[in-house]
Amino acid sequence: MCVLLGTLVVMSSPAIAFERQTMDSVVRVLPLWPGHQRGGEPGTPPGSAPEGTAIAVMPGGLLATALHVVERATRVTIELNDGRRIPAELVAGDAATDIALLRIGEDMPVLEAAPEPALGEPVCAVGNQFGLGPSVTCGVVSATRRSGVGFNPVEDFVQTDAVVNPGSSGGALVDTKGRLVGMLSAIFSKESDANIGVNFAVSSALLFRVVEDLASQGRFVRPKAGIRVTNLSGDDLDTATGVRVTEVLSGLPAEKAGVLTGDLVLSVDGRATHKSSALIAAIALRRPGDNLALELRRNGTALSVTLELSR
């Protein structure tokens, strides 16, 4: 429905159905940081960050959260939705993606990964905002495949305007079927940490890629392509797109596939690479031994190559 106000047309928001059972898979994280009664930075008011959120992502009581919530903690406690508090063990974490895996002694219903969402698709954020306990805010998908935002070395974000505030880190961004679109990770803010409608969740594809490694190997094993690239700048952007290969490492997959210094990488597995961070994300989403399809441009000629990622 729309309402005409003078020359301004205001569109009412569509109703968003929320799966109530999603709340059973999202819990409050209470880390104890050194030197602070409740954890957190000096001056942090009670009931606000650094409390966080966690999501049940694997059977056996395995929960995903943001590494920055728990990495400095001397003790981590989980508050279940029935009010019980139980200890959590930090299984492993990955600093490049800001993802951590916790284990608790109680199984929980696991959220299923959603397919990559469409722009404008309704989503809801479930997080422990300002330490008040899990709550729900809803909005839409503003962008997908965001990288190079500047929070983490490896980024594959879903951007949303659903309200997110401190304490939501590690929370769930879900679609209308209750499937996990991503894990709440970061917000853009100007002078405070309050929501301004530009919020980011680690995509479910990257989240599950990382936590599966953390569970099975104790670390995130990023595959190697064997190339270094740089962003185009200046006059290059008038006539070209992609990222330029600055180095091909000897004996690694890119060299074996015939990639040369100076080539432009236009896309990886169909994912446009307008900046180097997009290439980093595309590689991180794959596993050692996977084939990676690169679209290149060399001296004005389009080329397609496939390389096998190494460990």
Dump pLDDT digits (tens) for 31-86.
Answer: 987 766 554 455 555 544 478 999 999 999 999 999 999 998 889 999 998 999 99
98, 156, 175, 263: the catalytic one is 98
Same fold, 21-104 and 227-308: no
25, 68, 156, 204: the catalytic one is 68
Task: Specify whether 235 is catalytic.
Answer: no
Task: Specify whether 98 is catalytic.
Answer: yes
pLDDT of 285 higher than 60: yes
Instruction: Please give the Cα distance from 109 to 114 (Å, whole number).
Output: 16
CATH number among 3.40.120.10, 2.60.120.10, 3.30.530.20, 2.30.42.10, domain 227-308? 2.30.42.10
Average pLDDT over residues 263-284: 94
pLDDT in tens, 162-176: 999 888 999 999 999
Instruction: Please give the Cα distance from 175 to 102 (Å, whole number).
Output: 24
CATH topology assigned to domain 122-217: Thrombin, subunit H (2.40.10)
Which residues lie closer than 8 Å to 216 by C-beta, 6 or more apart?
Answer: none
Q: Quick check: 91 and 99 in contact, CB under 8 A?
A: no
Domain-wise residue ranges, the chain: 21-104, 122-217, 227-308
Instruction: Please give the Cα distance from 258 to 281 (Å, whole number).
Output: 22
CATH superfamily of 21-104: Trypsin-like serine proteases (2.40.10.10)
Q: For the chain, give the DSSP string.
A: -EEEETTEEEEPPPP----GGGGGGEEEEEEE-TT-SS-SSTTPPTTSTT-EEEEEEETTTEEEEEHHHHTT-SEEEEE-TTS-EEEEEEEEEETTTTEEEEEESS--PPPPBPPPPPTT-EEEEEE-GGGS--EEEEEEEEEEEE--SSS-SS--EEEE-S---TT-TT-EEE-TTS-EEEEEEEE--SSSSS--S-EEEEEHHHHHHHHHHHHHHSS----B--EEEEE--TTHHHH--SEEEEEE-TTSHHHHHT--TT-EEEEETTEE-SSHHHHHHHHHTS-TT-EEEEEEEETTEEEEEEEE-B-
Give the CA distances from residue 254 to residues 28, 175, 261, 263, 282, in Å, rounded to whole numbers and listed in that order: 44, 37, 10, 11, 15
Among 111-120, 235-244, 292-301, which stretch is predicted with the lowest mean pLDDT?
A: 235-244
147, 169, 185, 277: the catalytic one is 169
pLDDT in tens, 286-310: 999 999 999 999 998 999 999 999 9
